[in-house]
Structure 1
């Protein structure tokens, strides 16, 4: 049995690596910017996805932990290329926990560009995110990140 498992494991890994990042499945990775942390994406269908992040803010006063969730739409036909490079946009919410301050809640607007690899199950993205902070006081922030995710099917 042990030999059977050892034979199947490399085959499974090679099969998974040979797949390409597509507009389906679940991906997890990192984002670097403001804030910096973990990123996840779950495709609902060929154009819509849910995006999640758990990140830490190094830039603004009183270091903060942010948790966000967004609903995204991907337009695959805006950038003409043989590669899959969608422009995406959407909206969501951010919960921000700041040391020695009140927890904040904000509305996010997202616009970005992604590259979906045809060789490996990976995407690379860059995005700008205006955040309208609603609580404890109103203000406007601009977050930005570059990142990558590996897709598990």
Structure 2
């Protein structure tokens, strides 16, 4: 991602802020802000049909490592939190793991992510999120 992110900033011209969609469980809006060549924060607002048909909000601090021989493809990992707004609200910690691909000539990325979650309220339990998506950087 080190090479990819530098290219992304040059392509987008003005910003390292991406907005797009994530499709999976849950599905919704994904926003990502780069702070340097390796560190980013993402935020998601999504709706779950499987888990209490509820609104999920999450945010994560992400670290990216470019994969050898494929500078546009990077592995990322991080830590963050998740809140579910439902009849029984939940708060938990997330550990997202994923791959992201940045296109060379357009300010656009594709990503796939899985995130184990440790819910802390109302009871301690394990769950997870996952999906794929895209973002446009402007």
Please give the range of the TM-score, normalised by the shorter of the 2 chains: 0.7 to 0.9
Deviations 1:17-72 (A, max 9, x none): xx6369x6100000000010000000010000000000000122x21100000000
Provide structure 1 residue ranges, at least 5 long, that are not aligned to the other structure.
Answer: 1-18
Map 1:72-111 → 2, pairs under 5 A: 72-76=62-66, 78-81=67-70, 83-98=71-86, 101-111=87-97
Partners of 1:68 and 1:79 lie apart in 2 by: 30
Q: Does 1:27 align with 2:27?
A: no
Map 1:3-152 → 2, pairs under 5 A: 20=11, 25-60=16-51, 62-76=52-66, 78-81=67-70, 83-98=71-86, 101-152=87-138
Provide structure 2 residue ranges, at least 5 long, that are not aligned to the other structure.
Answer: 1-9
State the number of aligned residues.
128
Task: Tell me, yes or no, if the aligned pair for 1:94 and 1:108 is still in contact at 8 Å.
Answer: yes
TM-score of the two chains, using structure 1 as the length reference: 0.79
Point out 4+ residue stretches in structure 1 off by more than 4 angstroms. Answer: none
Partners of 1:80 and 1:53 lie apart in 2 by: 30
TM-score of the two chains, using structure 2 as the length reference: 0.87
Q: Name the one with the larger strand percent.
A: 2
Task: Tell me, yes or no, if the aligned pair for 1:21 and 1:117 is still in contact at 8 Å.
Answer: no
User: Rg bigger for which structure?
Assistant: 1
